Structure 1
Amino acid sequence: MPRTTRPRKGAARSARRTSAERAPSQSLQPPSETPHLPPEGPRYLYGIVRDAGDLDFGHLGVGAPATAVYAVKAAGLAALVSLAPGWVVDPTRAHLLGHQRVTEAILREHTLLPVAFGTVLASESRVHELLSTAHQELTQVLDALEGKVELGLKVLFHREHLVQRLVLEDARLARDPNEPEAEHERRLDAAVEDRARRDMRALMDGLSPRATATHEHPPVGERMLLNAAFLVERAGLDSFEEKVRSLAARSDTYAFRFTGPWAPYSFVDVRLGLGDAAGT
């Protein structure tokens, strides 16, 4: 039951999982050496990792054609960057897929401190400055994220399906012949809201012990009841997915959309503090 991955701007399934929507196939073979690029000119920043292991990712970056992604290193940290296509990078599908393509490649081998889509710094020297001036905070965040990734879970429902289930379970929710329709609708709305709240809380209670941290984003649209992110140890991914599968199997009232693993956008709140950087 593979998790779905989709393009994300980034700052964060059904029991019948939808098919994965992945970036177009690209070669992940790194270049023989770090690309020789002019030190000046804007750099697109994907995230921060520790300066360890292979940090050349080849031509995967945002732009057309795809740009070379490489590491700018300082004091044990490495910023993964590429030449920026401009000072402002619009959130087009191609750009979002390019950003996702790079973060997925980095995440396979490294703990990643991600930055928001569209983050552009003026030059390589500004990237060095970022690593130096924010070194302590960046290191602390990487320590907290070590060996962890983000998983997402959205739960949706059809109101009428839940109403039917509730009326079957409690005959008192059926409309009385003398009851005004508006009053009956108010009773049903209250019952639906109460049941959905209790079910989502039980779901979170069942999953939270398997995560290091959780974050609940606002639901999107009338059908969504839960829009949650979980910070999970890599070693616990299979256990977490099995628990989601188990909880989803107990209910035919809700639809589950389970995604990831992602870079842990929902659990990072770092202000880069560089005045010329877009998207920070």
Structure 2
Amino acid sequence: MTAGLRYVYAVCRPLGAPLQAELTGIGGAPPALLHHHGLVAVVSTVPEHDFSEESLRARLEDLDWLSATARAHQGVIDALTTVTTPVPLRLATVFRDDSGVRSMIESREDDFRRILDRLEGRVEWGVKVYVESGPQEAKAPAPAAARPASGRDYLRRRRESAHAHEEKWRTAETFAETLHERLTRRAEDARLHPPQNSALSGTPGQNVLNAAYLVSRADSEEFVELVDRTKGEVPGVRVELTGPWAAYSFSGEER
């Protein structure tokens, strides 16, 4: 029977406090700590039939499996973030055995130490701004309702509707730009990510700002209060705050 592969969630410095006793990772396996050169890889054993290179290509097309794997991965990262500053690795980072993990640490040791120095005592906050759909946009009126008196009346209504829509977007974009500038001044670093597709994310509204901010733990309460004060500031615009997260956007690793 195969011993499986070594899955690596993150690299960090030796922990000052133990991980949660009941913490589980991919497939329900408890994470372990692999010490090497003064750094720690947080690992667990995963089945080769799921995580070999060939198997992964097929597995990544299985959205249910991918979602469950991503949740388990994120659960370990979240638990680490409460006790240390981790450098999260990409989803499905696997090696044949512990020797492969040690070789990876050695090859990237200087980068890991540099990133850990930069991220120490800091977390990532995510802020998204959405243009909310009004009742008239969410559901089209019935064909017989409020029929225009003429073709000219119809065109006038279309122009007014288009103008209102454009004005709403301009207002939202101006608000998002101003908010990003304000938050960037309160953060140590910031990243702008591409707007999310609402059809894929399932989140209502149109995303006009998708940003991440690197903030010290000591300043996080003030940062959160600043974001909270902007909620409801502009009608039809929704502000969402997420975090604190491990600093994915500033670690050089992809989510």
| TM-score normalised by structure 2 residue count | 0.75
Task: Specify the alignment match of 2:163 in structure 1.
Answer: 187
- Contact 2:9–2:42 (Cα < 8 Å) also in 1: yes
Q: Any idea what SS the aligned residue of 2:228 has? A: helix
Aligned partner (choices 66, 80, 85) of residue 47 of structure 2:
85
Amino acid at match of 2:186: R
Matched, 1:235 2:235: no
Shift of 1:56: 5.2
Q: Tell me how far apart the structure 2 counterparts of residues 265 and 236 of structure 1 sit (CA, whole Å).
A: 19
2:7 aligned with 1:44: yes
Over 3 Å counting, the alpha-carbon distance change for 1:267 and 1:161 in structure 2 is: farther
Alignment of 1:207-218 (within 5 A): 207-218=183-194
> Is 1:128 paired with 2:102?
yes
Counterpart-to-counterpart distance in 1, 2:132 and 2:79: 37
Give the C-alpha shift of residue 157 in structure 1: 2.2
User: Structure 1 vs Structure 2: percent identity of aligned residues?
Assistant: 28
SS at match of 1:60: coil
Match of 2:240 among 218, 237, 257: 257
Aligned to 1:70: 32
User: 2:240 is aligned with what amino acid?
Assistant: R
Partners of 1:62 and 1:84 within 8 A in 2:
no
Aligned to 1:267: 250
| Matches of 1:208 and 1:112, distance apart in 2 | 23
Structure 1 residue 47: Cα displacement: 0.5
The alpha-carbon deviation at position 92 of structure 1 amounts to 3.6
* TM-superposed deviation, 1:244: 0.8
Question: Closer, same or farther in 2 for the Cα pair 1:234/1:162, shift >3 Å?
Answer: farther
Q: What does 1:106-117 align with in structure 2 at a 5 Å threshold?
A: 106-117=80-91
Partner of 2:103, secondary structure, is: helix
Aligned partner of 1:53: which letter? G
Could you tell me how far apart the structure 2 residues matched to 1:70 and 1:104 are? 15
TM-superposed CA distance for 1:189, in Å, is 4.2
Distance 2:174 2:211 in 1: 15
Unaligned runs of 5+ in 2: 138-151, 199-204
Q: Separation in 1 of the partners of 2:181 and 2:111?
A: 31
Tell me, in whole angstroms, the C-alpha distance in 1 between the residues paired with 2:249 and 2:223.
18
For residues 113-140 of structure 1, give each alpha carbon's deviation from its aligned partner in whole angstroms, at most 9, with x where no partner exists: 1111221112100110011111111111
Contact 2:87-2:247 within 8 A present in 1 as well: yes
Task: For residues 73-95 of structure 1, give each alpha carbon's deviation from its aligned partner in whole angstroms, at most 9, with x where no partner exists.
Answer: 22221111111233237544432
Change in Cα spacing, 1:61 to 1:45, as seen in structure 2 (3 Å) is: farther
> In the superposition, relative to structure 1, how do residues 85 and 235 fare at CA in structure 2: closer, same or farther (>3 Å)?
farther
CA deviations 1:49-83 (Å, max 9, x no partner) are 0134245554533344x212111122221111111
**Amino acid paired to 2:216:** E
How many equivalent residue pairs? 221
Per the alignment, residue 95 of structure 1 pairs with 69
Q: Deviations over 1:175-209 (max 9, x none)?
A: x9797455445533442332222111111122112
In structure 1, give the amino acid aligned to 2:248.
Y
SS, match of residue 104 in structure 2: helix
Give the C-alpha shift of residue 268 in structure 1. 2.1
**Aligned with residue 173 of structure 2, among 190, 197, 202:** 197
In structure 2, C-alpha distance between the alignment counterparts of 1:198 and 1:115, rounded to whole Å: 35
Equivalent of 1:224 in 186, 189, 207: 207
Relative to 1, partners in 2 of residues 1:231 and 1:162: Cα closer, same or farther, differing over 3 Å? Answer: farther
RMSD: 2.9
The answer to which structure has the higher helix fraction is 2
